[in-house]
Chains A and B, each alone.
Chain A
Amino acid sequence: MSRIHVTTTVNGDAREYLCSPNQTLLDALRDELGMTGSKEGCGSGDCGACTVVLDGEMVCSCLVLAGEAEGRRVDTIEGVAEGSDLHPVQQKFLENAALQCGFCTPGFIVASKALLEKNPNPTETEVRYWLAGNLCRCTGYDKIVRAVMDAAAELRQERTAA
């Protein structure tokens, strides 16, 4: 099968890869670029473990063909922390013990960050609906929701201070 040459921007960096026409963006990130933070849970858009932000909107990277990313902007879990400084969403996940096995965590963090960028002051209900496409089989969700609410409060405070 002929391979497609793709030039794209990942976490702000220009990147290139060769992919098969039927390869997903998730597989290209993991197998061609070695960025294994995004996980494959279901491969059918049900679990959200592969969530990335494509041109500013969060999507399941298992439901994007790698060839579609040509000229687009992809933001992944690897770009959330700044060096060793965790993003407030990541910090609050740790403080609230919002993970156990951790497989769903990259997807939850990318999705939660996307929520707080659109809605800095979500209600608990809004958080739960926004995260409906991210499945976690360990935590029972409460700790995740608390972490997101805490992160939202901290980000609002940071914004006020700045």
Chain B
Amino acid sequence: MANLAFHAPDTVKEATELLAANKGARPLAGGTDLIVQMQSGRMAPEAIVDIKRIASLGEIREEADHFAVGAAVACTALKDNKALVDEWPGVVEAANLIGSVQVRNRATMAGNLCNASPAADSVPALVAAGATAIVAGPSGEREVPVEQIPTGQGQTSLGDGEFVSEIRIPRQQKGGSDAYLRSIPRTEMDIAVVGAGASVTVDGSGTCTAARVAIGAAAPTVLLVEDAGKALVGSKLDDGAIAKMMEAVSAACKPIDDKRGTVAYRKTTAGVLAKRVVEIARQRAGEN
């Protein structure tokens, strides 16, 4: 860190140039992971590119077909956007389970995604919501499903000079909603032992027309469990469909054994949490 440089550019273009100019450069959003990793010596960046001075990245835009959440928007600020809270309560709740109020006043969903922890709370909710990430880089922007950003514990698919500048969440369908839950041994300030997010859309007859289920802390990355969603679509979300969905979730888990949970615990709990989030999402969808 002998020659660490600190940059605070005003535009996305400048940020990508600064990142591209130095392979050891790291983007800084909320810093709640990066600064901890720098202090512990796990990460020794050669340059810091603070993206919080880029005005557009600090905003939530309500577009016709999506919400655009800038990469510098703090988790607590999500709660101030009424339309987002109404349409994606699970995403907003998931982002506001991370750390403490102090941490959430800084931490961002883009940072949570790019830190690439399998236990990142906002990520299963974003995956379930069908969110995408706008990746800014030296050759322009590309849009990627959020589940394709993390490739392993602490690893991402981002190339040289690239960073996630925005998270896009589709506008909610009529009859649709979402939820996220995690299992932790206490009520706050903890890391998910297992987490599950679901988005569910039901029509007027109560038939499920769309469903996405994602699980966290159950594999090296957050997983979209496509078979779990398929088990629900076309059903009335009856016990049989839910049981099939739970089986699909447990089967998709590839968890580790550690002090926070065993493989067996995580597999079982992932299914149970998935059942609960589908149920909450369905209730919320009925109110939409």
A binding-site residues for B, Cβ under 8 Å: 1-2, 4, 20-22, 24, 43-46, 48, 51, 54, 57-60, 62-65, 67-68, 70, 111, 129-130, 132-134
Contacts and interface: CB of A to CB of B under 8 A. Distances in A.
A1 B74 contact: no
Nearest to A57: B105
A19 to B, nearest CB: 9
Nearest to B30: A63
B103 A133 contact: yes
A67 B102 contact: no
Given A1-B3, A22-B4, A57 B100 contact: no
A108 to B, nearest CB: 12
Contacts of A59: 102, 105-106
30 contacts: A21-B4, A21-B5, A21-B6, A24-B35, A24-B39, A44-B39, A45-B102, A46-B189, A57-B76, A59-B106, A62-B39, A63-B30, A63-B36, A63-B102, A63-B103, A63-B106, A65-B6, A65-B50, A67-B8, A67-B48, A68-B28, A111-B101, A129-B187, A130-B101, A132-B187, A132-B189, A133-B99, A133-B102, A133-B188, A134-B100
B100 A132 contact: yes
Nearest to B4: A21
A103 to B, nearest CB: 17
Contacts of B32: 45, 63
A57 to B, nearest CB: 4
Contacts of A24: 35, 39
A58 B4 CA distance: 27
B205 interface: no
B40 interface: yes
A91 B30 CA distance: 33
Interface string B1-42: 111111010000000000000000000101110011011100
A48 B103 CA distance: 9
A59 B5 CA distance: 23
Contacts of A45: 32, 36, 99-100, 102-103
Nearest to A20: B4
Interface string B83-125: 0000000000000000111110110000000000000000000
B275 interface: no
Contacts of A64: 31, 35, 106
Contact of A133 (B30, B50, B101): B101
A130 B189 CA distance: 11
Interface string B181-211: 0000001110000000000000000000000
Contacts of B187: 129, 132
A11 B40 CA distance: 30
B35 A133 contact: no
A76 B1 CA distance: 29
A64 B48 CA distance: 12
A85 B101 CA distance: 28
Contact of B102 (A22, A60, A68): A60
B38 to A, nearest CB: 6
Contacts of B39: 24, 43-44, 62
A70 B105 CA distance: 18
A2 B52 CA distance: 22
Interface string B70-87: 000010100000000000
B188 A129 contact: yes
A48 B100 contact: yes
Of all A-B residue pairs in the complex, the 5 with the closest CB atoms, nearest first, are: A133-B100, A132-B188, A21-B6, A57-B105, A21-B4
A4 B102 contact: no
Contacts of B6: 4, 21, 65, 67
A133 B36 contact: no
